[in-house]
Structure 1
């Protein structure tokens, strides 16, 4: 199950992809909130915050680069 949510993947090495993913999730959360859907807004906000954590706080650039070279 961990591989399904593996955000430490070489696909996300470029910073712009990580930023775009976080912005899309949080932006969608804002849209859902503006449309009056607080449940979906909360789901996308949690998803965006999880991505923010994984991409910018828990991100291990050296390990991801080593994985990219290994694969």
Structure 2
């Protein structure tokens, strides 16, 4: 079992707009904590923003096929199988 803070393979995150919105919400909350004067939460959300940005846009995990769907996309072959 692999531990992850966010499951980047979840089908919810397939559309690009959802990934952008989640990233922006976390980034905006980082700014809110910064201007609120909370250094600890600012560092935490800055690290979370970097993690989400890497996972959604740089790692290529979201664009990879979903587990178990590699054979579902192939059309059935007709003809003899000799």
Are the equivalent residues in 2 in contact too, given 1:13–1:64 (CA < 8 A)? no
Structure with more relative contact order (C-alpha pairs < 8 Å, separation 6 or more): 1
- CA distance 1:42–1:3, change in 2 (3 Å): closer
How far 1:8 sits from its partner (Å)? Answer: 2.1
- Name structure 2 gaps, 5 residues minimum: 73-82
Q: TM-score, normalised by structure 1?
A: 0.79
Larger radius of gyration: 2
In the alignment, the residues of structure 1 paired with residue 22 and residue 13 of structure 2 have an alpha-carbon distance, to the nearest angstrom, of 9
Structure in which a larger fraction of residues adopt helix: 1
1:8-67 CA distance string (max 9 Å, x none): 211101111101111111110100000100110111111111000000011231323838
Over aligned residue pairs, what C-alpha RMSD do you find? 2.2
Aligned length: 68
4+ runs deviating over 4 angstroms: none
